[in-house]
Every structure is written in C-alpha cells, then in structure tokens.
Amino acid sequence: MLSSSRYLLFALALVLLSGCSAVQGLIGSDADNTVPPTPLVEFQTLVEIIQLWSKDTGKGSTKQYLKLTPSHIQGKVFVADVRGNLVAIDATSGNRLWESDADMNITGGPGSSETLTMIGSEEGDVLAYTSESGEFLWQAKVSSEVLAAPQEAYGVVVTRTIDGKIFGLDAYDGRRLWVYDRTVPSLTLRGTSNPVITGDIVIAGFDGGRISAIELHTGKLIWETSVSLASGRSQLERMVDIDSDPVIIGNDIYVATFQGRVASVALEDGRITWARDISSYAGLTADENNIYITDDQSYIWALERSTGNSVWKQENLYARRATAPAVIGELVVVGDLEGYLHWMDKSNGQFVARTRVSKDPLLAPPVAFEEIVYAYSSNGTLSAYISQ
C-alpha cells in the first residue's frame, strides 16, 4: 500500500487522473494535507549563474498541469502556451522571430525538426508549421487529446494520444499513414511520454509499464517489453505508468516508471540489462557515464549507465516537485514548484548554485543546449542562463 506521504505527494503533483472520480475528489478535499516542500537549504555558491535574457512568451500553462517543454533546433527555441500561441525565439539573443496563433487549447508540444514545428490540442488535433518562418502547413485529427510533443523524422510525424494510440502522419500533408494501438488501464496519470525516434524505429512508453519499438514507416511492432509489473490490490497501487520520455544513447534505452522501476533496455531486442526499484513520473537524462533521474519524492539520483549502481543521491529537494534533470557541462540542473533552478555538481550531487526564474512553478524540465540552459515557467516566461 502507498505510504501516506507518497500518496499525498502524488495527489499534489498529479492534479487530474483519468477513469477514477473518487480519487479526483480525494485530491481536491485533501489539498490542505499535502506534504509541504522542503525549505531551501543554505550552501556555498561555487558557480555563478548569469541570465542572458528573459522573455514573456504568452500564457504558459495557466495553472494547468501541463509540461509544455521548449524545443530547440537550428539556433531557435520554440515554446507553446495553452491558449494556442506558438513562438520562435532566437536562442542566443532572445529576440522573437515569429509567432502563430492556433486558436485552440494546446496540451502537447512543441516538437521540432529542421523543417517542422508541431503542437497537439486538447481536442485531438495535430498542427504543423514551418520551423523557419512559422507558416501554417496542415492540421490533422487524431483519436483523443495530445499531451505528448509530436516528433518528425524521414517524412513521418509521430504523435501519441491519451487513449493509448500512436499515429504516423505524412509530414507533407498530415495524411494518416498508420496507427498503433495499446489498451489503456482504467486509472492512469494525466500525462504521456513523448515518443522518441532513432533511425527508422519509434520507441514509446505506455501506461501499464510497457515499452515498445515500432517501425517508423509502417507502425508494425518490432518488440515490446514490460519494464514494471503491476502489484497491490487497489487500482491506485497497481498503477505503473511510463510518463517520462525514454532516453536513447547508442544501443541502450533508459526508461522510468511511476510506482515501478528505472531500467536499461537493449534497443535491438528489448532485453532488460538492469533495473532498479526507483519510481519516477518526472523523468531522467543521461551523459556518457551516468543517468540522472528525479524520483517521485523529488530526490535526484545519479546511477551508473552500465550497471544501474548508485553514484549519489540528493535528498534536499523532497516534495518540491522537481522536474526531470538536464545536464550542462559538469552540472546537473532541475526546476521546482516555486520557480527555482537548482544546480548540482554532477560528480557528487552537491548544490553549487541556485537561481529563480519566476514565482510560478517550473513544470517543464530545463532544456540544455551547448552552454545555455533554457527554463520555461508555467506563467509563460522563457529564460536563458549560462554558468561560469
């Protein structure tokens, strides 16, 4: 059975669930009993953080629990807000390059390639724009709400819907090419992991703790693996969802499940090479040596990529609803519910710097590219930072 503190953190962080109105009511009624975030600890600042620029890009997620994560391609950063505003920003200067209004509620994206930037809507629409100028290209209808960022490669747009389907769409006109369908459990987290394209393979995590490899051009299943198996008596206890994005490095896939495990999976055949009992809905990232993961209590872990053995664990962000980590040089950075970015030494997990983006929560993980970290607040503020 879930411990009371873990359940209350779950209730606080995951505002909406599907398929269980009783749990929704409990979340609303117990709002005053949620675990308070750990107070910020004092530490010696060892790294200077410099803000390059900060821009108001729109409404953000307007208090909805949506991880509208920025995308980065060809010197541009793309952000979307829940009201349908899509903006391209120069990654270095912060200048606004173009802006487009979808005139609908956006819940997923943006996802960007060299040619396309795509968003998904609450009503099951996928919209595509040119990454260069923001020109609207096409709109396609899928089966249900899109919470994941659509992805594009080799002429195929891949998008995930909350009813367990993955669609392959023609990147030229949005025409449906294929559909891959998985049954969704009756109780799931409100969120879906982004599909990841590597070569001509789509890697996708699903509610129920399964990960699948799918052919990009046909939608045919290559292999499927259970990362975690459901256990317990109640629907809540048996919920093992993959809501964070798989991370692929070489021939290895790293994936985390809520109320389950973090695992290394072989890209070739889906074989699990190691697994650890760490529960996460926020997500993970990786570098050449380690993976870095935020668990469901907002503890930050570093694990050896090759074995899964622990390198360090940072516990001073407990109940602060930390985002998935990003790695920038020798640092690991996460955001939290009070709008702070926390910077850690990636060799030992010790805090080295802290900065505040805004007073509103950071729901989307920081995005690191070259020497810059981009942070997108739930109030629509996009900020860029460097460390020195």
Please spell the DSSP secondary structure of 231-257, one letter per residue.
-SSSTTTT--B--SPPEEETTEEEEEB
Mean pLDDT computed over 273-281: 95
Task: State CA 242 to chain mean position distance.
Answer: 11
Lowest-pLDDT range, 2-6, 18-22, 58-62, 196-200? 18-22
The per-residue pLDDT for 243 is 84
* Domain housing 342: 4-387
Q: Which residues contact 78 (CB under 8 A, 6 or more apart)?
A: 70, 71, 72, 86, 87, 88, 89, 110, 112, 117, 131
Gap between the Cα atoms of 103 and 58, Å rounded:
13
Backbone angles phi, psi at 159, to 5 degrees: -135, 145
The per-residue pLDDT for 288 is 96
In sequence order, what are the beta bridge partners of 290?
Answer: 304
Contact 240, 258 (CB under 8 A): yes
pTM for the complete prediction?
0.90
Mean pLDDT computed over 354-361: 97
Question: SS3 of 367, please?
Answer: strand
Taking only the tens place, the pLDDT of each residue in 53-73 is 999 999 998 777 898 999 999
The per-residue pLDDT for 207 is 85
Taking only the tens place, the pLDDT of each residue in 183-218 is 775 555 666 889 999 999 999 998 888 999 999 999
Inform me whether the pLDDT recorded for 22 exceeds 80: no
Region for residue 186 given its phi and psi (left: phi exceeds 0; alpha: psi -120 to 50; beta: otherwise)? alpha
Give me 204's structure tokens. Answer: 């996708």
Tell me the average pLDDT of the chain: 89
Mean pLDDT computed over 79-92: 97
Mean pLDDT computed over 321-329: 98
Inform me whether the pLDDT recorded for 16 exceeds 70: no
Picking from 165, 158, 120, 162, the residue whose alpha carbon sits closest to that of residue 141 is 120
The per-residue pLDDT for 34 is 79
Confidence of residue 289 (pLDDT cuts 50, 70, 90): very high
Inform me whether the pLDDT recorded for 26 exceeds 90: no
- Domain total for the chain? 1
For residue 299, give the CATH number of its domain: 2.130.10.10
Residue located via tokens 């629509």: 380
Backbone angles phi, psi at 83, to 5 degrees: -85, -5
Backbone angles phi, psi at 12, to 5 degrees: -70, -45
CA contacts within 13 A on the Cβ side of 346: 21
Taking only the tens place, the pLDDT of each residue in 224-273 is 999 976 565 656 654 667 788 999 999 999 999 988 899 999 999 999 99
Inform me whether the pLDDT recorded for 354 exceeds 90: yes
The per-residue pLDDT for 21 is 30
Residue located via tokens 């503020």: 381
Mean pLDDT computed over 363-371: 95
The per-residue pLDDT for 6 is 44
Question: SS3 of 49, please?
Answer: strand
Confidence of residue 30 (pLDDT cuts 50, 70, 90): very low
Residue located via tokens 């307007």: 62
